[in-house]
Amino acid sequence: MQKKLSALWIVGWFPSKANPYAGNFIERHALACSSKIDITLVHAATYFVGEDKNMPLTENYPFQLIWISVPQFQSRIFKPLNLCIYYSLFYIRLLKRLKHNKFFDIIHVHAADKCGILATWIKQKLKINKMVLTEHWAIYNSPVPDHFLTRNSWFQYAMKQTWKHTDYAAQVSLPLHQEMQSLLGKAIPVVEFPNVVPTDFFVSTEKAKYEKFNFVHISNFENRKNIALIFEAFAKLYAEDKTISIEFVGAEKSIKEFYQNQFSSQLPNSQTKGENQFVWKIHEKECPSKINVIFRKSHCLVMASSSENAPCVIAEALCTGLAVVTSNVGGISDMVNDSNGVLFDLEINEKTWSANNNRNIETLYQSMKTMKQNVRNGKYESIEIAAQSKYNASSISDKLNQLYLSII
C-alpha cells in the first residue's frame, strides 16, 4: 500500500463556534482528502480584544487541526497594527507547534487572503518544495464592487507574492483561475478541484415533491444575491401561473422580517393554509439537513447573483436532482449548462452595482418559465448521476492526491 503524502494546509476560512458556516467548503475538502492524504490543517481564528476567543466547532477531525487564536482591535484605525499582530502571532505560534513535526511534501493554501503570504514564508522556513493554491473568492471576477484592483496596495502585493510562489493551482472554478492569472502575473498549471457534496444530498430514489412547482433560493441574502429581483421575476410568472411557489432560505432574522414586509406588499403570502400550501416562504439560516429536505420537495434552484465563484449550493442542488436556473457569472458556467439548467446574462449597473431593473426581471422571468416547461417535459431526468460523479468525496480526493504525486 502506497504511503500517504504529507500536506500542510494553511486555510484562511474554517468553521468555528462563532460562525459554523464560514469555510465549510474547506472543511469538506479536508474531510474528503484526509482519507488519502496525511493533512495538518492550520487556521488563525481572529477575535476582538475583550471578547471570548473564536474556537473550533470540534477537534475530533480525521486530520490534525492546529488552531491559532489571534486577538484584534475593533477600530479600523488599528488595521495596520492588527495585520502585524496577525502575521507575527500566526508565524511564531505555528512554527512552535510544528517544532517537532514531520516533514511535509506539500504546502497547500486555501482562501489566501491574509494567510497566503504567510504560507510563502513558512514554505521557505520549513524548506517545503512545492506549494498549491486553491481560491474561492469572487473578487477576481469582473465586474464586482470589491474587485481585486480596488483593494489596497498591501493586499495586492501580498496576493501577487503568494501567486509568485505557487507551483500549481487546484481551483474550484477554472474561470476564476483565468481571471487570477491575468491579474497576478505568471501562468500557473491548474486542475479543477470541485467543492465536495456530502452523500446526504445524493438522491437515488423518487423524490417527494410539493404539489406546486416549487422554486428554491439558498444564500446569505447579501446584496449581490439580488433577492428582490428573484421575487419580482417570480411574482410576474405567478401572475399568469398559479401552480408555482418559491422558498428563500438563509436570512438573518432582521433581514427575513424586512423581505417579508416588502414581499407582502407585492404578493399576498398564503402560507397559513398549510405546510405545503403557500405562494412564498422565507426561512432563516438552516442546517444542511433541513436544506436537503427542502431540495427534495422542490423542482428547481434559482439564483441571480451579480458575482459568484463556484457555489456549493448549486452542486448540492444538482446532486439532489434539481435543475438550476442561474445568472452566468464567475465559475457557474463550469457547473451549469443546457443539460442541467438554464443560464442567463445579468445586466449590472457598474456605478450603483444594482441588478434590479426591468430588463433583468424580464430575463429571469423568461428563464424561470422555460425551466418549468423543461422540467415538466422531463428534460432534466437523472441529472443527479453526472453531478454525484463529479462532486463525490472519493473522486475529488483522488484528483488532489494525483496532483500531489505528479508535482513532488
What's the pLDDT tens digit per position in 257-271?
Answer: 999 999 998 887 754
What average pLDDT does this structure show over 85-95?
95
Kindly state whether residues 84 and 203 are assigned to the same domain: no
pTM for this prediction: 0.93
What average pLDDT does this structure show over 276-304?
89
Kindly state whether residues 192 and 254 are assigned to the same domain: no
Give the pLDDT score at 204. Answer: 62
Kindly state whether residues 227 and 312 are assigned to the same domain: yes
Residue 90 burial (C-beta neighbours within 10 Å; 0-12, 13-18, 19+): buried
- Percent of the chain exceeding pLDDT 70 equals 97
Q: For the segment 36-87, what is each residue's pLDDT rounded down to a tens digit?
A: 999 999 999 999 999 999 999 998 999 999 999 999 999 889 999 999 999 9
Kindly state whether residues 58 and 137 are assigned to the same domain: yes
Given a cut of 60, whether residue 7 has pLDDT beyond it is yes
Given a cut of 50, whether residue 113 has pLDDT beyond it is yes
Of the two residues 209 and 386, the one the predictor is more confident about is: 386
Give the pLDDT score at 270. Answer: 57
Kindly state whether residues 326 and 379 are assigned to the same domain: yes
Tell me what the pLDDT averaged over the chain comes to. Answer: 92
Kindly state whether residues 53 and 171 are assigned to the same domain: yes
- Domain residues for the domain of 398 are 5-196+392-407
Sheet holding 5-11, edge to edge: 64-72, 37-48, 5-11, 106-110, 130-134, 168-171, 190-192
Kindly state whether residues 208 and 307 are assigned to the same domain: yes
Which amino acid appears at position 88 of this protein? Answer: S
Please calculate the CA angle 27-31-37 and round it to the nearest 5 degrees: 120
Give the pLDDT score at 348. Answer: 84
User: And the C-alpha cell for 83?
Assistant: 495585520
Residue 91 burial (C-beta neighbours within 10 Å; 0-12, 13-18, 19+): middle
Q: Which of 4-8, 120-124, 194-198, 199-203 has the lowest mean pLDDT?
A: 199-203
Beta strands in 80-218 (DSSP E): 106-110, 130-134, 168-171, 190-192, 213-218
Give the pLDDT score at 209. Answer: 80
Kindly state whether residues 181 and 272 are assigned to the same domain: no
- Predicted confidence band of residue 272 (pLDDT cuts 50, 70, 90): very low
Kindly state whether residues 346 and 358 are assigned to the same domain: yes
Kindly state whether residues 87 and 107 are assigned to the same domain: yes
Given a cut of 90, whether residue 289 has pLDDT beyond it is no
- Predicted confidence band of residue 370 (pLDDT cuts 50, 70, 90): very high
Give the pLDDT score at 119. Answer: 96
Helix (H) / strand (E) containing 397: helix 393-407
Given a cut of 90, whether residue 2 has pLDDT beyond it is no
Kindly state whether residues 181 and 104 are assigned to the same domain: yes
Give the pLDDT score at 76. Answer: 87
Kindly state whether residues 204 and 107 are assigned to the same domain: no
Are 33 and 131 within 8 A, CB to CB? no
CA distance 196 to 27: 9
Q: What is the DSSP letter of 277?
A: -
CA distance 283 to 224: 19
Give the pLDDT score at 273. Answer: 52
**In the chain, how many domains are there?**
2
The CATH number for 246's domain is 3.40.50.2000
Please calculate the CA angle 244-248-250 and round it to the nearest 5 degrees: 165
Tell me if the bond preceding 189 is cis, omega within 30° of 0: no
